[in-house]
Each structure stands twice: as C-alpha cells, then as structure tokens.
C-alpha cells in the first residue's frame, strides 16, 4: 500500500494538472535508447497508465461533484427578466411626436425707450432716476423758443374748448380767455390764425352781435305775425260790413224798381258797397305785405343761422388745427411717459445737457409685463396642430443643457396663412418662464428660440407598433 502511494505521488509530480501546460520532454523520463532497456519497460508503463487513469478519474469526479456558478444556474432567468423589463419600459417611456418651429418672445406691454426728437439742450428734468411715473407724466423739456408752461396751458385751454363743443355747450366757450398767451415761439403763427377765427366766432356766441341781431329779427317776426292776426280780424269786419252794405243795396234796388225811393239813393248805396269792397282789397294787400315781411325776416334769420354754422365749422377746424400743432410741438419738445412704470436713465442726464436727435434718454419699464410666444408654422404637418397642445421651448440665449426648457401651451392657431405661406400661432406660458430645471429665465422681448409642438404623446411601444403597421400597409 505504501508502495502504491509513493508511485501515485511520483505520477502526480510527473503529469501536469488540468490547469498546467506540461512539457512533454519533462513528463517522459530519461529512457536510454538501448533495446534491452525498452524491452523491460512494459510492466512499468502499464502500471503508470493505470495510475494516470486513477488520477484523471479523481479530477473528473471533482469537476462533476462541484456545483455550477450562480450565473450559469440563473443566467437564462435573468435574461428573460431583463427582457421583460425592457418590454415594460417601452410601455411607460413616452416618445411623443413633435413638430419643430421657430419661436419669438413678444411682450404685450413691452418696455419702451424714449428718444430725443431734435438736436438741442435738455432745459428741464422733471423726474429722477428709478422713479415711479404714471401715464402721460412729463419727464423732461427740450429746448424751444416758446415758453413751455404757456404752451401747456394753451393746450389745456383749447382742449377745454373742444370738450365744450362736444358737449354742445358752445355758449360757455366765451368764458375762456386767450389774451395771456404771448410767448408761444414756434406756435405763434398758428396761434394768430386761431385767435382771428376765435374773435370772429365770438360774434356768433350768445350776447354777441349776430346773436342780438337774431333776437331782434325774431321779435320783429313775432310782431309781424301779431299784425297779420289784426289784419285778418279787420278783413273779417270789412267783409261783414260789405255784406251788410250789399244786402242794403239789394233791398233799395227792389224798392227803386217799384218807385218807392229816388234813384239817387240807389246810387249812394251802390257807392257805399264799392267803398267797402275797396277797403277789403286794401286789407288783403296789407296781409300780403305782412306775409312778405315775415318771409324776409325768416330769410334773414336763416342766413344768420347759416353764417353761424359756417363760422362754427371754420372755428372748429381752426381749433383742431391748433390742437394738432400743439400736439406736434409736445412730441418734439416735451418728453412724456407713454404708460406707468419705473423710469430709468439710459446714461448721465442733467439740465442744459446737449443731446442729438435720436439719442436714447429714458427707459420705461412697465409695472406688469405679459409675454407670449409667436410661432411661425410651415405648411408641413400643420394639420396636426390644435389649440391646447403642449409646447417645449428652448431659447437660443439660454442653452437647454444648462438652463433647461420652458413648457407652454398653444392658445391660438390661425385658420389661414398670414405671411409667406406660414401659419401664425401664439403660445402662452401659464407658469411663466420657469424651466424644467427650476430656473427662471428673465424675459426679454424679441428673444428667439426653437419650439417643439407635441402633437401626439405616444409611448415607445406605440411608436414601434405604428411603424410596423405602417410598413405592412
């Protein structure tokens, strides 16, 4: 038994294991090339082969008896689990269909820059930097040969005149005076023409010359009508007398035919009838003259009314011309705030500073600014776009991999192409310009970017299915 053990040990040392690559020269013992030696070897070789078989059988039994690795036991199961997870992921992962279009951010009440319209000096600054102003507030006076305060007062006075005209109260215009305006500079010539029209128009106002003349004519017309009533009463009396005289003449004529009265009495009665008839004709002529007098006075009144209307129209035209001249002067020499907000100097500004025409002076930031996106959609796939669809916006000035994207919603889509065969759509930002990274982008009117309109929010599985079915069709 010990001899066999030693022999197996020698064999194990001589034969390489399964993990070693033995050199055949090392495995085989040094055998002399003598034939006699070779002939004696069969017994030892046969015993060595049995020993190697026993050794290899032990190794095979060790390999067979060892349990396989867990990857080999659970690999197929893990593969199918991963495959099922990928399949379920295609159900829940969204891969929407989008239409790309350029977008431009537009402000509803955009900040506005105020510029100088002339070359000249800033004669007076009326606001400070970063001061709150209201709409129409005067910010600065530009150089002018006119007195700014007088021009502004004249503008208020003329606006009041126009308001009273609109309220059909022209008689109250005479309460307003124009005598104190003498330093109007560039507006002096326009004011002289307006003042002349104003003086002529005052004659047609209540208590004016033409108004008093109209009242006199109306009184004369009333007297003439009263005189006509008297003439008509006199005519009625004359006609009654004439009728009595005629009846008397007929009676006397019958008596004369029977020789009861003398012919001279008939002649006297006939003369009386004729005289009464003449009186009636005279009164009728007076009535006709009365009608002519009334017509003449009515004509004069109508002429006065026509002149009043013409002069009113001329004065109203001169009034509008003067208002336009004052407004133009204000646009040139007075800088006002177009809306309420915060006023910011664009640079160093001070009184008596010389500026150029077109130079930026103030920047007005409104209190509340609303922004919306303006989309220009091409003809391709525009039929899939509807109001209410979600829009993913990436602004060019804010890279989306750093700042993220802004979500919006289409609230209007034009039915017809508006320009260059493009359809117009507007995007509202209900949550403001807050990106999906939680960062708020400062809005600036005119910012450009790209938009992706999500027309169909499908999953990856739905898109794969649609592509397969599309190919099968």
Name the residue ranges covered by the structural domains of the chain: 2-65, 97-109+369-457, 111-137+337-358, 143-333
pLDDT at position 20 is 39
Gyration radius from the chain CA atoms:
59
- Mean pLDDT per segment of 10 residues, for the chain of length 473 residues? 41 40 40 40 49 58 63 70 77 72 84 86 89 88 88 86 73 67 84 84 73 82 85 82 78 72 73 79 84 86 83 83 89 88 86 88 82 84 81 90 90 80 87 88 86 76 70 64
- Give the SS3 label for residue 350: coil
Across the beta sheet with 341-345, what order do the strands follow?
A: 112-115, 360-366, 341-345, 131-133
Helices then strands, each counted (H, E), the chain? 11, 14
Share of the chain residues as helix, strand and coil, in percent rounded to the nearest 5: 55, 20, 30
CA nearest neighbour of 7 among 65, 51, 38: 51
pLDDT at position 55 is 52
Place of tokens 């003498």: 182
Cβ neighbours of residue 256 under 8 Å, at least 6 residues apart?
Answer: 262, 263, 265, 266
Cβ neighbours of residue 341 under 8 Å, at least 6 residues apart?
Answer: 111, 132, 133, 364, 365, 366, 367
CATH fold label, 97-109+369-457? Elongation Factor Tu (Ef-tu); domain 3 (2.40.30)
- Torsion angle of C-alpha atoms 135, 136, 141, 142, degrees rounded to 10: 100
CA–CA separation, 410 vs 396, rounded Å? 20
CA–CA separation, 118 vs 359, rounded Å? 9
**Class of CATH domain 143-333:** mainly alpha
pLDDT at position 25 is 39
CA atoms 241, 245, 246, 247: torsion sign: positive
Cβ neighbours of residue 335 under 8 Å, at least 6 residues apart?
Answer: 114, 116, 138, 139, 140, 141, 142, 361, 362
pLDDT at position 5 is 41
CA–CA separation, 67 vs 88, rounded Å? 34
Q: H-type helices in 93-208, by residue range? A: 148-166, 188-202
257: buried, middle or exposed (CB in 10 Å: 19+, 13-18, 0-12)? exposed
Q: Do residues 386 and 359 make contact, with C-beta atoms less than 8 angstroms apart?
A: no
- Give the SS3 label for residue 204: coil
| DSSP state letter for 110 | -
Long-range Cβ contacts of 281-284 (<8 Å, 24+ apart): 283/231, 283/234, 283/235, 283/238, 284/235
């Amino acid at each position: 038994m010990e001899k066999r053990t030693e022999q197996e040990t020698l064999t194990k040392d001589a034969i390489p294991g399964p993990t070693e690559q033995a050199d055949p020269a090392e495995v085989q013992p040094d055998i002399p090339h003598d034939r006699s030696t070779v002939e004696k070897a069969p017994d030892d070789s046969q015993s060595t082969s049995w020993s190697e078989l026993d050794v290899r059988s032990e190794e095979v039994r060790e390999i067979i008896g060892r349990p396989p690795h867990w990857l080999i036991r659970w690999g197929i199961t893990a593969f199918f689990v991963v495959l099922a997870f990928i399949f379920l992921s295609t159900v829940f992962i969204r891969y929407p269909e989008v239409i790309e279009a350029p977008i431009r951010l537009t402000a509803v009440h955009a900040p506005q820059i105020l510029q100088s319209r002339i070359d000249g000096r800033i004669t007076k600054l009326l606001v400070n930097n970063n001061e709150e102003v209201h709409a129409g507030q005067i910010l600065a006076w530009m150089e002018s040969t006119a007195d700014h305060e007088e021009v502004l007062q004249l503008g208020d006075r003329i606006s009041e005149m126009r308001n009273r005209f609109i309220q059909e109260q022209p008689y109250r215009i005479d309460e307003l005076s124009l005598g104190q305006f003498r330093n109007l500079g560039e507006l002096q010539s326009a004011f002289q023409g307006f003042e002349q029209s104003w003086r002529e128009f005052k004659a047609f106002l209540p208590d004016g010359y033409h108004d008093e003349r109209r009242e006199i004519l109306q009184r004369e017309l009333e007297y003439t009508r009263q005189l006509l009533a008297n003439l008509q009463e006199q005519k009625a009396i004359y006609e009654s007398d004439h009728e009595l005289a005629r009846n008397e003449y007929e009676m006397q004529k019958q008596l004369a035919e029977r020789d009861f009265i003398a012919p001279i009495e008939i002649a006297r009665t006939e003369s009386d009838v004729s005289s009464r008839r003449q009186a009636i004709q005279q009164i009728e002529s007076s009535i006709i003259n009365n009608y002519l007098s009334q017509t003449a006075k009515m004509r004069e009144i109508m002429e006065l009314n026509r002149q009043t209307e013409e002069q009113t129209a001329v004065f109203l035209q001169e009034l509008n011309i003067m208002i336009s001249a004052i407004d133009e002067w204000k646009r040139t020499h007075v800088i006002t705030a177009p809306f309420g907000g915060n006023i910011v100097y664009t640079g160093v500004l001070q009184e008596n500073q010389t500026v150029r025409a077109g130079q930026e002076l103030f920047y007005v930031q409104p209190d509340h600014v609303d922004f919306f996106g303006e989309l220009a959609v091409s003809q391709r796939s525009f039929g899939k776009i509807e109001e209410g669809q979600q829009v993913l916006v990436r602004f060019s000035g804010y890279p989306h991999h750093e700042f993220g994207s802004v979500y919006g919603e289409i609230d209007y889509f034009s039915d017809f192409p508006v320009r260059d065969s493009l359809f117009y759509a507007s995007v509202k930002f209900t949550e403001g310009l807050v990106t999906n990274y939680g960062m708020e982008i400062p809005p600036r009117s005119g910012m450009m970017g790209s938009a992706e309109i999500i027309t169909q929010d499908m999953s990856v599985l739905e898109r794969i299915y649609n592509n397969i079915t599309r190919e099968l069709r």
